[in-house]
Structure 1
């Protein structure tokens, strides 16, 4: 059956980034599968209130104070009244939060459980265990995930990290990677090849060869922050250019490290070899990437790295650091790995340049290979199965498999009873557990007050976005959600309608 889902996060469009793109693409594909999805985020650059995006995706932009890197100030309880109003108006059944650093996400999970809703959390980042910021973040994560129904991570490395940080049962954590819309990241040169007159035209990339004297362009598209390896990039660029005179750089992105990068270029007088584009919108990323031959990704920590998948889809050879979940993303023939060190990054980039000049790397095949590996439709199907598992649409045996009857956890269905919730929060620490229990009790009292002060009967139910019915293989309309799990969704190339094979 279709679900009413609320995606909640501080990170959403128009801000660029992997989390923002993930939420939008996942929401759009879930809508295609018959579900109702709304996004709840904070106001961006005057975007306050309700807006509709492509495919009828409804976005609530709540005016809250942003304190750092698009993260709102944690208030714990002040978000509850408007969140409750949105949930009741949209008849939400599942609240899906995104991002360990999102205050909206953690608060929404707490309030949703108080209101008796099912909750899912997706973690997109990796964090340490030693510095003060990580310790505070991990404690906040443990608080939010103590009462969540299920957790999704974007890589196996991310899963291990999240399980340790939040002391979770590993069986309650699923790995569902990011994806890419391959059609939006096609290589530069294409030819059209037709099988026969009645078949459709299928574009294919032309082989690209780089001669010994040709210029190789290295592209970098990243936020210019410390964790993205900007300091490493600043140190490596002069050495790479000195060793390879016929190399140029194109760097897109913004951040606090941009001034350091500009100062290095002025000191070394490399302005003619390094082009700085500043911030670019996501729809412009492909136009930047097809100008290059190699994509350089010097990140110091990364849970997945969607941008390297986009680069490979554009036909670029990828040089990246072997950190976090990056080694899980692309096969070995598409990448050259380096340690997160200056010397090794310079060496790996030199190997990539030599491989391109020798013709050993067939980058014209990358696009079709990436298209087969990553699909947002597949991500939506796997996420939908998580929803089925936490709502009871499928049995625990089907959802958890051989771990359903594990002795250490008799049942993983989270109860809504206040006493059961307090038991889960109390085990979070000697002092933190008591503080968490106090927050839950106050949240429950606020909920009771809101039920009396603003009864549900006074809140209007929002009308759903009108959608065209799907067409099955017998040319009959199918109601939203009725086609799920009945077959593989394929697009009819003759008329563009969705059919079932």
Structure 2
């Protein structure tokens, strides 16, 4: 059954990142499966209004005030008029929000429920419970998810975290991991093979990966590609680099990314006179990540919190041995033979890196097999199929037993297949249980939102809103072009599949 889906999030291209890539790839695959998907995000520099990406993916860049790290200022109600207009224009049936820190996402879920639309939320992050910022974020998440039909998390650890933070029934939370396009993260190659089916005329032939044996005196390159923030473990990396380089004279670093911790990293290099052994690339675009990774042998991931960690899958696909911290959902991502785990502590992280270097020098790790193994493990088509099943479950296509694995049972606030009831009184009951004071405030917000909806229905009738024409479907014979590297703006000259939007760099 085809659906009209709105993906709503503050984070999208041209800003690269894990959430941004997830939304684009999932939307593109859903379109391939016969659904209609549009993306609603805020305006980025030079991008306001409606844009079309490859595969007919339409993006609405809504002008809005951005306060911090591409997150819009939360206003609760001011987004409603334009959101309603877009949903009516595109005949939206399901609103799918992404990211706990996206104001657009939470507001869209509230407004969609007021409009009688089914809603899904995907959580990509982990949060604590003790600090003031986490407490506030968790209370807002509880507000948004009190009236959502289903929740998706990218790892089992993320599911446990989200269930606790938002006081959710575990049955209404599914785990669907991220994926990567393995063909875009190939290791260095040595011999030519058959022409890849997705290769454009004039592009080089696909190459088979080669395995380079390392001698005792060969240089080993350690690669780090990350935003330089505290939660990404930049402080841990800064403390570990001098010790690793002191233990191994034939080791060098390549570090890509930017952020507030970049100045601390530069000061450490100057203090220890390591500029000739550590190369700082600064911010890099997503399409350049593979070219950086294949220059190395080991990928370091010192993150202090991570729900999934797509970048380590990309690194393994490029044939890199991965050293990562045992935090969040990272242990679920790759099998043990591809990774060396460490505690998020300086001594253990240095020791883990030393073990990885020793294993490579002894040729105990067959990194040349990593690419094909990753290709078999992760697929965006599989992610789209599993997400489609969630849509079927909340829409009543699947029975309760088919979707949840057991009967949910009828209640005053549940409808068909356990989906949330749209009745205002039932919605108020769900919000009222969010806290002694917060519950009353949330109920007030819902009532005001409903009154605004009634006013908009009278002031801007649906009959006066033009219905947008759907993007024409390409014939199956011409659907073989892969644009998995990233989006291409329709209408721009394209010589190869690597002509991308020129977006902001990582960092």
Fold equivalence (TM over 0.5) = yes
The aligned counterpart of 1:287 is: 291
Partner secondary structure for residue 59 of structure 2 = strand
Specify the alignment match of 1:88 in structure 2. Answer: 88
Aligned to 1:124: 124
* 1:317 equivalenced with 2:321 (yes/no): yes
Question: Aligned ranges for residues 183-262 of structure 1 at < 5 Å?
Answer: 183-193=183-193, 203-262=207-266
Match of 1:426 in 2: 432
Q: Residues 36-51 of structure 1 correspond to what in structure 2 (within 5 A)? A: 36-51=36-51
Question: 1:464: which partner in 2?
Answer: 470
- Residue 354 of structure 2 corresponds to 350
Q: Quick check: 2:413–2:420 contact (8 Å CA) kept in 1?
A: no
Q: Measure the CA separation in 1 of the matches of 2:225 and 2:413.
A: 44
- In the alignment, is residue 11 of structure 1 matched against residue 11 of structure 2? yes
- Name the residue aligned to 1:487: none
Post-superposition Cα deviations, 1:76-120, rounded to whole Å, max 9, x if no partner, equal: 000000000000001100000000000000000000000000000
Equivalent positions of 1:23-62 (< 5 A) are 23-62=23-62
Residues 1:27 and 1:138: Cα distance change in structure 2 (over 3 Å): same
| DSSP 3-state at the match of 2:322 | strand
Counterparts of residues 72-471 of structure 1 (less than 5 Å): 72-193=72-193, 203-402=207-406, 404-405=408-409, 412-470=418-476
Runs of 5+ consecutive residues of structure 2 not aligned to the other structure: 195-204, 480-507
Matched residue SS, 2:12: coil
1:17, distance to aligned residue in structure 2 (A)? 1.1
Structure 1's unaligned 5+ residue stretches are 195-200, 478-501
- What residue number does 2:500 align with? none
Q: Is the 8 A contact 1:211 1:357 kept in 2?
A: yes
CA distance in 2, matches of 1:430, 1:12: 36
Higher relative contact order (CA 8 A, sep 6+): 2
What's the offset of the Cα at 1:393? 1.2
Partner Cα distance (1:51, 1:187) in 2: 33
Partner Cα distance (1:290, 1:189) in 2:
10
Asked whether the equivalents of residues 318 and 371 of structure 2 are also in contact (C-alpha less than 8 Å), the reply is: yes
* 3-state SS of paired residue (2:279): strand
Contact 1:143/1:436 (<8 A) preserved: yes
Q: Which residue of 2 aligns with 1:482?
A: none
Report the more deviating stretch, 434-443 or 461-470: 461-470
Q: Distance in 2 between matches of 1:445 and 1:405?
A: 32
User: Which residue number in structure 1 is paired with residue 65 of structure 2?
Assistant: 65
C-alpha displacement at 1:389, in angstroms? 0.3
Q: Distance in 1 between matches of 2:63 and 2:370?
A: 43
- Aligned-residue offset at 1:413: 1.6
2:309·2:330 contact (CA, 8 Å) conserved in 1?
yes
- Deviation of 1:285 after TM superposition, in Å, equals 0.4
Query: What are the residue-to-residue correspondences of 1:468-479 with 2, within 5 Å?
Result: 468-470=474-476
Per-residue deviation at 1:290?
Answer: 0.3
Aligned length: 468
TM-score norm. by structure 2 comes to: 0.90
Deviation, structure 1 residue 14:
1.1
The SS at the match of 2:47 is coil
- Cα deviations by residue, 1:339-382 (Å, 9 ceiling, x for unpaired): 00000110000000000000000000000000000000000000
Contact 2:41 2:62 (8 Å CA) reproduced: yes
Q: In the alignment, which residue of structure 2 is the partner of 1:496?
A: none
**Structure 1 residue runs of 4 or more that deviate by more than 4 Å after TM superposition:** 405-411
Question: How far 1:471 moved relative to its partner?
Answer: 6.5
Whole-Å separation in 2 of the counterparts to 1:225 and 1:77: 32
Task: Determine if contact 1:187/1:315 at 8 Å carries over to the other structure.
Answer: yes
Per the alignment, in what secondary structure is the counterpart of residue 217 of structure 1? Answer: strand
Separation (CA, whole Å) in 1 of partners of 2:235 and 2:66 = 27
Q: What is aligned with 1:493?
A: none
Closer/same/farther in 2, CA of residues 26 and 286 from structure 1, 3 Å limit: same
Q: 1: distance between equivalents of 2:173 and 2:190?
A: 41
User: Contact conserved, 1:212 with 1:357, CA < 8 A, in 2?
Assistant: yes
**Contact 2:305/2:328 (CA < 8 Å) preserved in 1?**
yes
TM-score (norm 1): 0.91
The structural deviation recorded for 1:233 is: 0.4
| Preserved contact between residue 400 and residue 406 of structure 2 (Cα < 8 Å) | no
